[in-house]
A and B are shown apart, each in its own frame.
Chain A
């Protein structure tokens, strides 16, 4: 009853896209030798490539539009719309040097990093307390934190707007830095609880016998062992912050304070038919930092599951 409904699912495995108890650690081919190549071609590679192409096409189109010259952008018949031989950096140049875009990018980054750091610190403490201190009612608090992950921003933004207004935080990045953790803390606490549970209890008992305080145990034993989990939590929270829209749209009004998603939707959409180039350039530059970050840590995610602690 007190168990969380998701306790049977390893969230790290979910995040890393594979599982610690991978049934195929031996890299055997399984039963795939039973299928002939033509058969695999039709039942496996064909649908897979269709799905992957559909999933990636919007990004290709975004990138292509961002570097196409204006005349080719709207003239689909003279030029082949799927390729361009004379790319231009006009749109990106305009974006970076003739608009507030760098400022918006900085705002987004600033808000995302601050609220992620705040949330991770709070979550580490909370997750450690729930899993290892096991104070009275810890199970219930754990359940409540799980439930609070299910409260969507769409039903909170109206009252939060009045709260933010009362606290005098309206139209300031601080409003976002303080409200984003409500989305991030439940998630990362939940993730870190799973990680902390995998750290052997004996390590902490040894430290306790050697006279370490709880704080020392946390900073010198538990955290170094949970680094893969911390990185996963950090990346995921950062992505969530970057992606967040409705709070930023509601709480920020002046142009200079906006975050990238809000600014692009509000400031770049004008009546100009040639807006598409700069709009797509803005979308591209807003996504690239995340994709690059993700590309770096995809491997880290995978190694997280085979980490030393899991053995």
Chain B
């Protein structure tokens, strides 16, 4: 036995120096680099680079099929005096503000309802999420048909009930059209808000509610002083996403109104598509879509700092 052990020790190869190849293969940082490579390649090539390119294009007079020359801030100056652009900014803000706040209110209400003890709870939850699963454009087409000027089922029902005498021109009238696209956006957004908030609600311990009830709290007080504070962090995240995606919405508007009537429903995204791709003026379109960036940053900042404040209030360390 001892001989064998001795022999194997003497014939053992000397410890090999780590070669460059070994470094690449096992070093934590290099390994991390290899693992990150595919994802980073996509994000840099098709996200970071276009983001920078978009800002550059907005400073040029590029058109489709022709790289532009640098013209400084001319596109932005042009937009500054463009009433249609300002109308689209107004529309976007109105659309985002109204749709997001109603989505939040109904979504929270629906989440509270779904958090009760219900029969068929799982099925209800699945059904509620369906509007979020179905492609937006396809449900927008259904809304287009529901809001048809001549054959709208809503107009028909209201006429049958004797509330109106003539069909409502849902998508042809400025204010009606705005209301309709906002409604369709709310319809699609509510399930997302509700289901996410429901996930947050289920982490709220019922014993808190029981204790509060024993102390004589009303149901409003229980919501205001127990549920709502505990839900704030998730509300901040959900609403950031909701605001972000409402603000940059494109497909719903494009499928329902294409910005009409008389630009009343043009959002910044649809206007930039119309100018850049249909009109062919890439520079101006890029300037319009870049004008969205400050608003987006503001939304992100607000939710970020809102979140920080909550953490601090709950006495957690700000790691």
Q: Which positions in A face B, CB cutoff 8 Å?
A: 1-3, 5-6, 8-10, 13-14, 16-19, 21-24, 28-32, 34, 44, 47-48, 51-52, 54-56, 58-59, 61-62, 65, 73-74, 76, 81-82, 118-119, 121-123, 125-126, 128-130, 133-136, 138, 141, 145, 148, 150-163, 178-179, 181-182, 185-186, 189, 214, 239, 242-243, 245-246, 249-250, 260-262, 264-265, 276, 279-280, 282-284, 286-287, 290-291, 294-295, 298, 302
Contacts and interface: CB of A to CB of B under 8 A. Distances in A.
Contact of A129 (B32, B110, B114, B148): B32
| Interface bin, chain B | 35 or more
B5 interface: no
A23 B300 contact: no
B151 to A, nearest CB: 6
Contact of A160 (B32, B50, B145): B50
Please name the 6 residue pairs, one residue from A and one from B, whose CB atoms are nearest each other, closest first: A135-B32, A129-B35, A152-B248, A126-B39, A154-B269, A159-B54
Interface in B263-298: 268-269, 272-273, 276-277, 282, 285-286, 289-290, 292-293, 296
Contacts of B146: 58, 61
A152 B38 contact: no
Contacts of A44: 113, 116, 118
A150 B251 contact: no
A135 to B, nearest CB: 3
B210 A31 contact: yes
29 contacts: A17-B198, A21-B202, A22-B203, A30-B117, A48-B110, A58-B142, A58-B187, A82-B153, A118-B42, A123-B39, A129-B36, A130-B36, A134-B28, A135-B31, A145-B43, A150-B244, A154-B268, A155-B289, A158-B54, A159-B50, A181-B42, A242-B135, A243-B136, A245-B136, A245-B251, A246-B273, A250-B277, A291-B134, A295-B126
Interface stretch (B7-15, B76-84, B173-181, B189-197): B189-197
B135 A290 contact: yes
Interface of B is mostly: helix
B137 A261 contact: yes
Given A61-B142, A280-B145, A283-B139, 8 more contacts: A44-B116, A138-B32, A156-B47, A159-B49, A159-B53, A239-B133, A283-B138, A302-B122
Contact of B296 (A14, A150, A182, A250): A150
A126 B36 CA distance: 5
B150 to A, nearest CB: 8
A48 B113 contact: yes
B113 A47 contact: yes
Contact of B57 (A130, A158, A283, A298): A158
Contact of A19 (B114, B138, B199): B199
Interface of B: 28-29, 31-33, 35-40, 42-43, 45-51, 53-54, 57, 62, 106, 109-110, 113-114, 116-118, 122, 124-131, 133-139, 141-143, 145-146, 148, 151, 153, 156, 187, 190-191, 195-196, 198-200, 202-206, 209-210, 213, 233-234, 236-237, 244-245, 247-251, 254-255, 268-269, 272-273, 276-277, 282, 285-286, 289-290, 292-293, 296, 300, 303-304, 307, 318-319
Given A135-B33, A162-B53, A280 B245 contact: no
Contact of A179 (B46, B113, B282): B46
B199 A18 contact: yes
Given A158-B286, A245-B137, A290-B135, A148 B50 contact: no
Given A30-B117, A129-B32, A291-B133, A182 B46 contact: yes
Contacts, number: 309
A207 to B, nearest CB: 15
A157 B273 contact: yes
B22 to A, nearest CB: 12
A22 B273 CA distance: 45
Given A157-B273, A160-B46, A178-B46, A249 B254 contact: yes
A202 B288 CA distance: 52
Given A156-B54, A163-B50, A182-B43, A21 B203 contact: yes
A52 B57 contact: no
Contact of B43 (A19, A159, A185, A284): A185
Contacts of B204: 23
Contacts of A245: 135-137, 250-251, 254
Contact of B133 (A65, A125, A294): A294
Contacts of A28: 206
